[in-house]
């Protein structure tokens, strides 16, 4: 089975696929508004620190054990520690996380497809700001329309993954990721012409320590995990398709730098528009669908700018969705010897079914008592479950597994295999064994309400 496993055709193919999986809606949608809510430059500084010293070590760890085992997320733990069967639950946790993320991800991506079509039709014409913003409320409350676009997006994702690693994921990752770069750079260059650019540059890159909050550091740490696709089983799966000649440490740093660059470019594209028209930078989750369309309507070449932006939005969603779907498909192929055709058709059908309540969350036509019972919609419930609990817990268990369960000599050999940065092993091993688990535990304690880090620090200085 392992001898027949398909591998990436080139290092570039893997880099673009891994970068594409990470450069998703978290980068284009979440990074800008979370940065706006947490003080701009000081938060960006935290994010860079967390990415390099916490995110990258775990990123490397997932690739290392994936390549070593040459199996899917669950099979990795069965292969490396067959005498400790309980650890395979970490693999299942990653598979479950990817499945649940994909079930609501297709809905958000479907909204992007809808706005792409709206942009082509110049939806802002003869509408005031309230009407433009209200279009998203109409869409959100129209479960049938949301479900339709979610289905179209899932069908596109299916078509890419169905073709396999080299002909499907690698080939289309090259096309989509490069196209993403071109569109984003083009929109960034346009933003340079806006009067709000100087203010945006200062907001993003000037660390105002007067705005320091310890909780913002934990938010940056969580965002780093989200934007690097950690704890989702994606990197375990993609790592299993690596060749022995591939340089894991160098590749991990390259991908992380690409993700950071895209995140900053996205912020530099969005914030100049916001500051040009004096909107608040902390626009929240509705920034992309409610605030930006109003601003686009005031720009020269509104149709082109708006259409390109939502094309970029869909491209970023697709590169991540492909990776999420592949996690589940690879696991079914490895564990149950299913054909790729059977695995992907079955997974796609189940993902679509589970995504139905998320599509109808705005209208509450499905699970009508969900909101009054849980205090949030089905969509936000699943999102919170994954981002607040499943991903951090999965990352924590993975770090403990690599740092305390696996043989250090085996890790050293795999780290050095094909790498020109062998000298970094000691630093990496310390970070994955101690820094990563401690950081994630702090996130979980903060999120679970055991303490409020801002209150603790304020008490120390009073």
pLDDT digits (tens, 9 = 90+) for 45-78: 999 999 999 999 999 999 999 999 999 999 999 9
Number of Cβ atoms within 10 Å of the Cβ of 444: 15
Residue 2 has a pLDDT of 44
For the stretch 242-280, pLDDT in tens is 989 999 999 999 999 998 998 899 889 888 988 888 887
Residue 108, sorted as left (phi over 0), alpha (psi -120 to 50) or beta, turns out to be alpha
Sign, CA torsion 323/257/8/416: negative
CA distance 357 to 378: 6
Helix/strand/coil for 258: helix
Q: Give DSSP secondary structure letters for 36-53.
A: HHTTTHHHHHHHHHHIII
Full residue range of the structural domain in which residue 263 is found: 2-460
Q: Phi/psi of residue 208, each to 5°?
A: -85, 100
SS3 124: coil
Low-confidence ranges of the chain (pLDDT < 50): 1-3
Tell me which DSSP letter residue 404 carries. I
- Class of residue 166 by CB neighbours under 10 A (exposed 0-12, middle 13-18, buried 19+): middle
Work out the burial of residue 453: count CB atoms within 10 Å of its CB; fewer than 13 is exposed, 13-18 middle, 19 or more buried. middle
Task: State whether residue 205 is helix, strand or coil.
Answer: helix
pLDDT of residue 181: 86
Number of domains in the chain: 1
CA distance 253 to 146: 37
Q: Where are the alpha helices (DSSP H) in 297-390?
A: 302-336, 340-359, 370-374, 378-384
Angle between helices 408-416 and 248-276 (to 10 degrees): 70
CA nearest 10: which of 173, 236, 208, 204? Answer: 173
Among residues 18, 441, 381, the alpha carbon closest in space to that of 234 is found at 18
In the prediction, which pLDDT does 4 show? 60
Q: What is the CATH number of the domain that holds 111?
A: 1.20.1740
- The whole-number pLDDT of residue 211 equals 78
Minimal CA–CA distance to 242: which of 457, 69, 396, 383?
Answer: 69
């Amino acid at each position: 089975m392992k001898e027949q496993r398909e591998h990436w055709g080139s290092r570039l193919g893997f880099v673009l696929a891994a970068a594409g999986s990470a450069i998703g809606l978290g980068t284009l949608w979440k990074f800008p508004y979370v940065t706006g809510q947490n003080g701009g430059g000081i938060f960006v500084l935290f994010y860079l620190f967390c990415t390099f010293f916490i995110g990258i070590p775990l990123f490397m760890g997932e690739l290392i054990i994936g390549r070593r085992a040459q199996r899917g997320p669950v099979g990795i733990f069965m292969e490396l520690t067959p005498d400790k069967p309980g650890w395979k639950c970490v693999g299942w946790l990653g598979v479950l996380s990817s499945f649940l993320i994909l079930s609501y991800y297709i809905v958000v991506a479907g909204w992007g497809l809808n706005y792409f079509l709206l942009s082509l039709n110049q939806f802002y014409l003869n509408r005031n700001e309230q009407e433009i913003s209200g279009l998203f409320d109409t869409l959100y409350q129209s479960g049938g329309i949301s479900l339709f676009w979610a289905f179209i997006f899932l069908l596109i994702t299916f078509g890419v993954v169905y073709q396999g690693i080299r002909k499907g994921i690698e080939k289309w990752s090259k096309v989509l990721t490069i196209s993403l770069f071109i569109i984003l750079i083009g929109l960034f260059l346009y933003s340079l012409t806006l009067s709000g650019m100087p203010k945006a540059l200062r907001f993003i890159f000037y660390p105002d320590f007067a705005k320091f909050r310890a909780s913002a550091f934990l938010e940056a740490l969580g965002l780093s995990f989200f934007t690097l696709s950690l704890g989702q089983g994606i990197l375990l799966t993609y790592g299993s398709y690596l060749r022995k000649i591939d340089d894991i440490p160098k590749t991990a740093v390259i991908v992380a730098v690409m993700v950071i660059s895209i995140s900053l470019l996205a912020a530099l594209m969005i914030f100049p528009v916001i500051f040009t028209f004096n909107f608040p930078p902390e626009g929240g989750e509705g920034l992309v669908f409610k605030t930006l369309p109003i601003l686009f309507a005031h720009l020269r070449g509104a149709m082109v700018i708006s259409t390109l932006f939502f094309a970029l939005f869909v491209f970023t969603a697709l590169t991540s969705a492909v990776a999420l779907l592949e996690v589940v498909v690879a696991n079914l192929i490895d564990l149950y010897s299913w054909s790729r055709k059977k695995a992907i058709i079955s997974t796609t059908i189940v993902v679509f079914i589970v995504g139905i309540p998320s599509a109808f969350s705005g209208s509450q036509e499905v699970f009508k008592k969900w909101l009054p019972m849980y205090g949030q919609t089905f969509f936000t419930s699943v999102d919170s479950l994954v981002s607040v609990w499943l991903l951090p817990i999965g990352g924590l268990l993975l770090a403990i597994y690599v740092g305390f369960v696996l043989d250090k000599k085996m890790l050293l050999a795999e780290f050095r295999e094909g790498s020109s940065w062998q000298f970094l092993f000691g630093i990496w091993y310390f970070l994955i064994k101690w820094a990563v688990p401690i950081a994630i535990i702090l996130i979980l304690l903060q999120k679970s309400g055991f303490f409020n880090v801002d209150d603790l620090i304020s008490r120390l200085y009073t």
